[in-house]
Structure 1
């Protein structure tokens, strides 16, 4: 009798994975994945698409872990969420985005450390 498998099968199989260049790139990828999930899309491998070394949920869990440790606050997560959905980072030259830009940089810096340890960011 075979054992029941509780872990979903990976899409990547034997394909080499390509880590993200930056945590910012990983965050925007996560945000896009969340948008299409809400629209009802299912994940399936696309021919010719680069295979990522993680699931979108891994990036979410990294952010939540930083929140639990007190390294990210509510405002950090709000800025990540707002500008992640917008698809662009806040512009520090714009007076109304000066504070969000500072929070964004702090959050991305802290995410970079965690995501590099996991091999998600190069």
Structure 2
């Protein structure tokens, strides 16, 4: 019988919080795209040394949804533009409402991620998406 032994854990690399929830959310979707392509995610390959796994971002969104802080409209917009790897453009009439939902959703996500140290804390006068909008 073959004895199974755990692989040694890699040394902990220095990590840097995301600048804001938008950066974290777009990174999450980038990782999802890689997963869908069956690419193995390696923490050491990330230039910035991310402070979490993509699943941590997903779980934060699910907790906000379960608590009623993110509604269906927020989620649809976050998913649609996350998959596109860009925020909605508020200058385009067809994306203006989406831009409002995007900002509101990211504001709530930023607060949840900041509480866990995954994004930079808000500065006075900034909205939760880190862009001061």
**Superposition TM-score tier, normalisation by shorter sequence:** 0.7 to 0.9
Who is 1:95 aligned against?
Answer: 93
Q: Unpaired runs of 5+ in structure 1? A: none
Greater relative contact order, per chain length (Cα 8 Å cut-off, separation 6+): 1
Who is 2:59 aligned against?
Answer: 61
Who is 1:107 aligned against?
Answer: 105
Root mean square deviation of aligned Cα? 2.0
Who is 1:39 aligned against?
Answer: 37
1:43 Cα deviation after fit: 1.4
Question: Moved runs in structure 1, 4+ residues, more than 3 A?
Answer: 8-11
Q: 1:18 pairs with 13, 16, 19, which one?
A: 16
Task: Give the paired residue count.
Answer: 115
1:9 Cα deviation after fit: 7.7
* Residues 34 and 41, structure 2, Cα contact 8 Å, conserved in 1: no
The 2-side partners of 1:80 and 1:9 are apart by: 37
Q: Unpaired runs of 5+ in structure 2? A: 121-133
1:75 Cα deviation after fit: 1.3
